Structure 1
């Protein structure tokens, strides 16, 4: 067959590329694979592939070469053959570019993740500042131990308020007239205090998560 040389060269190039890809994928740190697990590195028309590992591309190129072989056997017109060869060449070039730019992709993914984390923290800061509990952060942000102490303090307050509400609701059952209205108002006030206490608890829990997140991320 007059195109045997072409097919032989393509298979040889694919074999060489496969070895490069295997070495590339094997040397990828787990952190890099995780960072790029949702990253699309190619145009959908070139490859269906996500993440830092490139070996899935090899099978897709191999399939193209087999299809080219079938077209050659069918003696299809030259334009069809040329288009198939150009597609294979484009795929070779794309994988080689990806091999050379994985480091850049990892850095970009890390920066995107860091930016997203900072946006979330900034949003939490704005929400917390507007919540009226910023004084907690100012007073106890030196370390997580202080935050846990503050959390336990507020949990104790919440339990005491809940107990007080239960007592007042029992008293309310035997109240009449003005005393009943007064007790109802006191219960309402206690519920408001409980609501603020629970908001403070939620705020402190968020601060603990924000404080400890860098530590957990570093130790994964």
Structure 2
């Protein structure tokens, strides 16, 4: 094969590859483009390319072929020509592989994100159990509306406990000595309930902040 035939063959291959790359990019859904932006699909020395679109790589390959054509016309040394041919071949192979592996990359990324979500949920569940308020998390961690409803319920309970304590302490002053010990114990028990309720309020408020905070690296 002479040099003219070589260049002609490379241009024909590039034309076909360009059609494939354009078709690939047109069929790529916007959310898939966004997903592929997070994946390094090429060695940085092969292509300067970001995101899911592959057609921008065609222009770089075309420049390589034009450069090779010029080198051949100038009859540069065989080593220079070989280096250019090797680079073009590596880029052709890499681009063809990228065209074939888009779906594989998307599935792998989806599995990775699902695994991250599962680990995040497990971590949150363990955190809830360790805090002693797992019963809250299991019932209301599905969405922020449930969390706010649970927060409101505990705030109402805390208010009722405080009012009850205030009333009992007022009664204590006029209570018969025989009943004072029992009433004091009841007040102590009510304080304990109020304390647990306030702890639950703080815990739910933390869950709300975690739920509404943007989760970097995880999809919503």
Instruction: Give the TM-score normalised by the residue count of structure 1.
Output: 0.69
User: Secondary structure of the equivalent of 1:137?
Assistant: helix
Q: Which residue of 1 aligns with 2:82?
A: 82
Give how far 1:206 is off.
4.5
Number of matched pairs:
186
User: How many angstroms apart in 1 are the aligned matches of 2:37 and 2:124?
Assistant: 27
- Asked which structure has the greater CA Rg, the reply is 2
Give how far 1:148 is off.
3.8
Give the 5 Å matches for 1:52-131.
Answer: 52-131=52-131
Give how far 1:137 is off.
2.5
Q: 1:143 to 1:69 in 2, by over 3 A?
A: closer
Q: 1:53 to 1:134 in 2, by over 3 A?
A: same
Give how far 1:3 is off.
2.5
User: How many angstroms apart in 2 are the aligned matches of 1:150 and 1:19?
Assistant: 57
Unaligned runs of 5+ in 2: 164-193, 214-218
Unaligned runs of 5+ in 1: 165-189, 210-215
User: Secondary structure of the equivalent of 2:118?
Assistant: helix
Q: Describe the superposition over 1:151-203 as per-residue Cα deviations: whole angstroms up to 9, x where unpaired.
A: 32245567x59x99xxxxxxxxxxxxxxxxxxxxxxxxx99975652223222
Among 189, 197, 201, which residue is 2:201 paired with? 197
User: Secondary structure of the equivalent of 1:89?
Assistant: helix
Q: 1:23 to 1:130 in 2, by over 3 A?
A: same
More displaced stretch, 87-96 vs 134-143: 134-143
Q: Describe the superposition over 1:28-86 as per-residue Cα deviations: whole angstroms up to 9, x where unpaired.
A: 12232222221111222222223322112111111211221232233211121012112
Give how far 1:144 is off.
6.8
User: How many angstroms apart in 1 are the aligned matches of 2:128 and 2:84?
Assistant: 59
Q: Which residue of 1 aligns with 2:134?
A: 134
- Kept after mapping to 2: 8 A contact 1:154/1:201: no
User: How many angstroms apart in 2 are the aligned matches of 1:12 and 1:142?
Assistant: 56
- Kept after mapping to 2: 8 A contact 1:154/1:197: yes
Q: 1:155 to 1:17 in 2, by over 3 A?
A: farther
